[in-house]
């Protein structure tokens, strides 16, 4: 017994997986010094050869068909269902300790060992539950031990006692409504596998209890049942359109689907770019970014506020803060707000449309009408007030009803005959149709107005950009003219200096002086 209440079913098993020597390649520079090399676990390099004392079960490899076990996922890789198995006695501590001491002295676990799996099953009769326990110790090629565990608790004998019989009836009714072949088959398979395995354990005298197939079948059943339950709840959206208020959610989601799809593509580009960046820069130092898969979820947790900025800064004091700040800015502040803006824009449009629509008869209105209906189906509407109440319960607007009665000159105290009822109904329908046409025209005008406004904004933006471009071109032209004038001035000065050096300017100056003197003399 474990903790005085849990019965150990079958012998606990310690399963060991190892790899062969020379399963990896040693560099030529170290080949003379290092003569043994054991790689990480892979089925292609798994060691299946017997070792140790001859004809002893712990030293003979057994496949998963014989052990009735399934491959399991660890932290590092996927491990097969076979291996070298050491079985421990159920209720003899000294014998179990001696067996463990014996395999230790024979080096059952050595450098080639890559995984140690401990399996055992407990049953608690007080709560009628089975607990299938699996402890996994992974020994990577880099050294060390990476422990993990899994405890799966199931009710494998569900149809026990009076309550179990009631469950059979209720589940039968449920399956009759669902008519799901896969669910029915898995339910049958789950119960059959669990019953067969429990019977086998009891018949074997509780010596061996492999529950891998039971756990696998139960988990598949739970997963499919969860998916079916999720889809069943999603179907509720088909029935929420009972009035304007509850119809807004589904209409908003439907209208924004296309925009959200385009936004999702843009978001994925930014998001996966940051995930790849984080994986390459921080993957060797931070476990959250050790793989591209882990980096994706690390960034998703960052959006939810679960992040370790200190580790990013410690890994790279420059790229770490830049990565974090830019990611938060672009993804959190920009992209997520764009997503909210898309939803909000669709919600505003849907709310405006529903406000212009005629209130129709929904499920709640129909139920209310049925509950308040007169007991006699053959009783006719006798007065103005009776007919008005029924029309309002059917979802028609009170103003339309009053307008129809006024148009036909029917007073509040008058009794309404069948012909008048038909005329009132036709008039109300005509008014409703006219309002719908007006609403449709109003909606079309609103859409056109909105498009025109958007076009005006686009044109203003283009004109503004063109003005900026023209201003820039004018500045460039002015700069070019000034540069040309400056160049001409420099060229003229250079020519004058050249002429001065040749003496031409002096002769010209003397000639001009003689001419001035002759003019004065005259």
Domain of 515, in residue numbers: 474-521
Give the pLDDT confidence of 12-35 residue by residue, as tens digits: 999 999 999 888 888 888 888 888
Query: Given CA atoms 273, 277, 280, 286 in this order, what sign does their dihedral have?
Result: negative
119 is in an annotated binding site: no
In a domain, 426, yes or no: no
Among 239, 269, 285, identify where a domain stops: 239
Query: Is pLDDT at 224 greater than 90 in this prediction?
Result: no
User: CA distances (Å), 426 to each of 170, 179, 408, in order?
Assistant: 51, 46, 11
CB 84 within 8 A of CB 63: no
Residue 381 pLDDT grade (very low, low, confident, very high; cuts 50, 70, 90): very low
Please give the tally of structural domains in the chain.
Answer: 4
Helices (H), 283-335: 292-303, 309-315, 319-327
What's the whole-number average pLDDT of the chain?
78
Condensed to tens digits (0 to 9), the pLDDT of residues 424-433 reads 666 666 777 7
Q: Is 28 inside any structural domain?
A: yes
Same domain for 133 and 70, yes or no, is yes
Q: Which of 127, 154, 181 is where one domain is finished? A: 154
Does one domain contain both 142 and 166? no
Nearest to 41 by CA among 143, 112, 145: 112
Confidence of residue 380 (pLDDT cuts 50, 70, 90): very low
User: Higher model confidence: residue 463 or residue 205?
Assistant: 463
| Most confidently modeled range among 101-110, 166-175, 504-513 | 101-110
- Specify the pLDDT at position 512: 52
What pLDDT shows up at residue 146? Answer: 92
Candidate from 20-29, 227-236, 258-267 with smallest mean pLDDT: 227-236
- Any idea which of 13-22, 357-366, 443-452 has the lowest mean pLDDT? 357-366
Confidence of residue 519 (pLDDT cuts 50, 70, 90): low
> Is residue 427 situated within a structural domain?
no
Range from 91-95, 109-113, 186-190 that averages highest in pLDDT? 109-113
Between the CA of residue 247 and those of 60, 69, 235, 241, 342, what are the distances in Å?
67, 51, 14, 4, 18
Residues 137 and 24 placed together within one structural domain of the fold: yes
Q: How many CB atoms lie within 10 A of CB 477?
A: 10
Of 326, 331, 323, give the one whose Cα is nearest residue 267.
Answer: 331
Backbone dihedral angles phi then psi of residue 211, each to the nearest 5 degrees: -110, 20
- 374 pLDDT band, cuts 50/70/90, is very low
Q: What's the pTM value of the predicted model, to 2 decimals? A: 0.49
CA 118 centroid distance within chain:
34
**CA torsion through residues 302, 303, 305, 306, sign:** negative
Q: What percent of the chain has pLDDT over 70?
A: 70
Residue 374 within a domain: no
Compute CA 288 distance to the chain's CA centroid, rounded to the nearest angstrom: 18
Task: Say yes or no: 262 and 225 in one domain.
Answer: no
Are 56 and 176 in the same domain?
no
Calculate Rg over the CA atoms of the chain: 43
**222 and 102 in a common domain:** no
């Amino acid at each position: 017994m474990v903790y005085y209440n849990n019965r150990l079913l079958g012998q606990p098993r310690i399963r060991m997986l190892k790899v062969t020597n020379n399963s990896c390649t040693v560099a030529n520079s170290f080949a003379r010094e290092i003569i043994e090399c054991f790689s990480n676990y892979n089925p292609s390099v798994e060691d299946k050869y017997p070792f140790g004392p001859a004809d002893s079960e712990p030293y003979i490899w057994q496949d998963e068909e014989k052990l009735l076990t399934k491959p399991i996922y660890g932290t590092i890789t996927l491990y097969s269902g076979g291996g070298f198995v050491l079985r421990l006695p159920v209720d003899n501590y000294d014998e179990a300790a001696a067996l463990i001491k014996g395999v230790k002295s024979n080096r059952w676990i050595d450098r080639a060992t890559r995984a140690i799996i401990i399996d055992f099953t407990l049953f608690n009769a007080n709560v009628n539950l089975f607990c299938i326990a699996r402890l996994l110790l992974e020994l990577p090629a880099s050294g060390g031990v990476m422990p993990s565990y899994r405890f799966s608790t199931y009710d494998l004998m569900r149809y026990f006692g009076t309550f179990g019989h009631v469950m059979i009836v209720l589940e039968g009714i449920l399956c009759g409504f669902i008519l799901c072949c896969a669910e029915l088959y898995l339910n049958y398979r789950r119960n059959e596998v669990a019953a067969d395995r429990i019977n086998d354990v009891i018949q074997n005298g509780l010596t061996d209890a492999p529950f891998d197939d039971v756990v696998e079948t139960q988990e598949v059943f739970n997963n499919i049942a969860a998916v079916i339950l999720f889809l069943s709840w999603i179907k509720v959206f088909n029935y929420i359109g009972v009035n304007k208020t509850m119809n807004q959610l589904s209409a908003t989601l439907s209208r924004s689907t296309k925009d959200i799809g385009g936004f999702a593509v843009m978001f994925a580009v930014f998001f996966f770019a940051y995930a790849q960046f984080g994986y390459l820069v921080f993957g060797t130092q931070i476990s959250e970014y050790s793989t591209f898969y882990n980096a994706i979820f690390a960034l998703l947790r960052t959006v939810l506020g679960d992040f370790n900025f200190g580790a990013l800064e410690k890994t790279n004091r420059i790229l770490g803060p830049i990565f974090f700040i830019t990611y938060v800015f672009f993804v959190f502040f920009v992209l997520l707000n764009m997503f909210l803006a898309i939803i909000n824009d669709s919600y505003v449009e849907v709310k405006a449309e529903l406000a212009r629509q005629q209130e129709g008869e929904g499920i709640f209105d129909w139920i209310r009408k049925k509950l308040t209906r007169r007991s006699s189906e053959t009783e006719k509407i006798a007065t103005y007030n009776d007919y008005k109440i029924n029309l309002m319960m059917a979802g028609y607007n009170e103003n339309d009803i009053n307008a129809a009665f006024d148009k036909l000159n029917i007073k509040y105290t008058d009794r309404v005959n069948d012909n008048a009822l038909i005329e009132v109904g036709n008039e109300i329908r005509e008014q409703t149709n006219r309002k719908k046409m007006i609403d449709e025209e109003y909606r079309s005008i609103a859409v056109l107005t909105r498009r025109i406004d958007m076009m005006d904004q686009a044109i203003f933006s283009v004109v503004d950009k063109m003005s900026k471009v023209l201003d820039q071109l004018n500045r460039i032209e002015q700069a070019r003219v000034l540069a040309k004038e400056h160049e001409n001035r420099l060229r003229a000065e250079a020519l004058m200096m050249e002429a001065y050096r040749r003496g031409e300017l002096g002769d010209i100056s003397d000639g001009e002086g003689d001419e001035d003197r002759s003019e004065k003399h005259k």
